[in-house]
Amino acid sequence: MLRPPRRLPRVPRRSAAAAAAGPGRRLLLSTPIFYANGPPHIGHLYSALLADALHRQRGLRGAGPGRLSTGTDEHGLKIQQAAAAAGTSPPELCERVSGLFRQALAQAAVSFTDFTRTSEPRHQRAVRHFWGALQDGGALYKGSYEGWYCTPEECFLPESQLAERRDAQGRPCKVSLETGHQVHWTKEENYMFRLSAFRDPLRKWLQDNPQAISPDPFYQHVLRWLEEDLPDLSVSRERSRLQWGIPVPSDSTQTIYVWVDALVNYLSVVGYPETHGEWWPAAHHVVGKDILKFHAVYWPALLMAAGLAPPERIFVHSHWTVRGQKMSKSLGNVIDPFACFSQYTVDGFRYFLLRQGVPERDCDYYDEKVVKLVNSELADALGGLLNRSTALSINPSNTYPCFSESCFPKIMDYRGTKAVGRASAEDYEFVASVASLPLQVASYFEGFQIYKALECVALCVRQTNSFFQRHKPWKLNRKDPAEKLWLDTIIHVTLECLRVYGTLLQPVIPHTADKLLSRLAVEPEERSLSSLTFLPRYNGKPCPFEGRQLGPDTGVLFHRLEKSRQHQAEAQKL
pLDDT at 573 over 60: no
SS (H, E, C) 153-179: CCEEECHHHEEEEECCCCCEEEEECCC
> Among candidates 363, 506, 527, which has minimal Cα distance to 55?
506
Judged on CB neighbours under 10 Å (0-12, 13-18, 19+), 244 is: buried
- Report which of residues 96 and 416 the model is more confident about: 96
pLDDT digits (tens, 9 = 90+) for 204-217: 999 999 999 999 99
User: β-pairing, 155-157 with 172-176?
Assistant: unpaired
> Among candidates 55, 441, 95, which has minimal Cα distance to 284?
55
pLDDT digits (tens, 9 = 90+) for 170-191: 888 899 887 788 888 888 889 9
Query: 63: helix, coil or strand?
Result: coil
Judged on CB neighbours under 10 Å (0-12, 13-18, 19+), 392 is: exposed
CA atoms within 13 A of residue 312's CA, in its CB half-sphere:
18
Alpha carbon distances (Å) from 459 to 376, 455, 456, 488 = 12, 6, 5, 24
pLDDT at 18: 47
pLDDT at 16 over 60: no
- Report which of residues 397 and 415 the model is more confident about: 397
**Rg, C-alpha atoms of the chain:** 27
Cis preceding-peptide flag for 481 (omega within 30 of 0):
no
Integer Cα distance of 496 and 473 in angstroms: 16
Asked if 80 and 255 count as a contact pair (C-beta separation under 8 A), the reply is no
Angle between helices 337-344 and 346-356 (to 10 degrees): 110
Asked if 536 and 542 count as a contact pair (C-beta separation under 8 A), the reply is yes
pTM comes to 0.91
Beta strands in 8-96 (DSSP E): 27-30, 34-35, 66-73
Mean pLDDT of all residues belonging to the chain: 91
Domains of the chain: 27-317 (3.40.50.620), 380-549 (1.10.730.10)
pLDDT at 154 over 80: no
> Among candidates 421, 425, 495, 434, which has minimal Cα distance to 463?
434
Residue 69 phi/psi, 5-degree rounding, is -105, 145
Q: Is residue 494 within a helix (H) or strand (E), and if so which, with residue range?
A: helix 481-504
DSSP 363: E
pLDDT at 455: 98
CA atoms within 13 A of residue 223's CA, in its CB half-sphere:
16
Cα 110 from chain centre: 10
pLDDT digits (tens, 9 = 90+) for 315-351: 999 999 999 888 877 788 889 999 999 999 999 999 9
> Among candidates 554, 553, 571, 555, which has minimal Cα distance to 563?
571
Q: Is residue 96 within a helix (H) or strand (E), and if so which, with residue range?
A: helix 90-107
pLDDT at 187: 81
Q: Which amino acid is at 384?
A: G
pLDDT digits (tens, 9 = 90+) for 236-290: 999 988 899 999 998 999 999 999 999 999 999 999 999 999 999 999 999 999 9
